[in-house]
Amino acid sequence: MKLNYLILDVFTTERLKGNSLAVVTKADGLLDDQMQAIAGEFNLSETVFITKPQSERHTAAVRIFTPSVELPFAGHPTVGAAVALGLETRTSAVRIEQQVGVITCIIEKLDRRAGFARFALPILPEDVGKAPDALRIAAALGIEPEDVGCGLYQPAVFSAGVVFYLVPVRNAAVLKRIKLERRGWSEVFPLGHNSVYVFTETPGEDDNRLAARMFAPGMGVGEDPATGAAAAALIGLLARHANDGQVEYALRQGHEMGRPSRIMMQFRKEGGVLTHGGIGGHAVVVGEGTLDLED
């Protein structure tokens, strides 16, 4: 069996920046354990497998794997897969079947190897648990308890398909000096895959309003350069403190890793209720090849 694949850098317009993604095309017939093994072989934060959709009205079905687990939804694989499909089919919209539901992505082609994709969240974020106290959070992140919290924002647990602990910190300097204490991590953050999204406001920066870092030892990922599913969860906390209307945020991630990324977030509140959330970003193809799985 031979399978073609692409490597894209997502949430960036620059090659060798952003979050790398492997896209295995025409992956019909692969077993679950084969997909997981291939994702482990690539050893990127996520690998996606494109297969034929169940409905003829849809463009493709996509399954998403980290090096150690399958995810029902993730943002940078959705953006990357949408751009890959858009470049292949030369269409401006694709409908992708994922475990969380069907996601419609709008694509803007930049050139034959790059594009921008945005999509509405198939599941709006909701509060799904209780966050640890500031003392335990600070110990796990190697910061001081008084560093936890940013303006109106306090730690929370939200999910838009994948559970994340959302931890606001005082400023970008605190964000930069995080040093994880991995011992006892799963006891401090027991829900989901023990994933933590640390964020802060960036009033002194021109290109973004927020900055974040994501740590996910339970997914087989130490730190992730750009995490759309976490940004989707964060929309829930941002919306909690927002007025009615539509708002757009630009968020940077991955700068501390040397993989700067930019995630666009959008949401709308009506009558005090979150009614829409969306994620968008660029993706650029950096390579392609063939998997040779023949004995």
Query: DSSP assignment, residue 156?
Result: E
SS3 breakdown of the chain: % helix, strand, coil, rounded to 5? 20, 45, 35
d(CA 253, CA 229): 13
* Exposure letters 191-226 (e unless 16+ CB within 10 A, then b): bbbbbbbbbbbbeeeeebbbbbbbbbbbbbbebbbb
Q: Which amino acid is at 266?
A: Q
HSE-CB at 166 with a 13 A cutoff on CA atoms is 28
d(CA 2, CA 294): 7
Residue 150's DSSP bridge partners are 153
Helices marked H in the chain: 32-42, 75-89, 134-141, 172-176, 185-188, 228-240
Local structure of 67: helix, strand or coil: coil
Using an 8 Å Cβ cutoff, are 249 and 234 in contact?
no
Residues annotated catalytic, as ranges = 46
Using an 8 Å Cβ cutoff, are 228 and 11 in contact?
yes
HSE-CB at 35 with a 13 A cutoff on CA atoms is 24
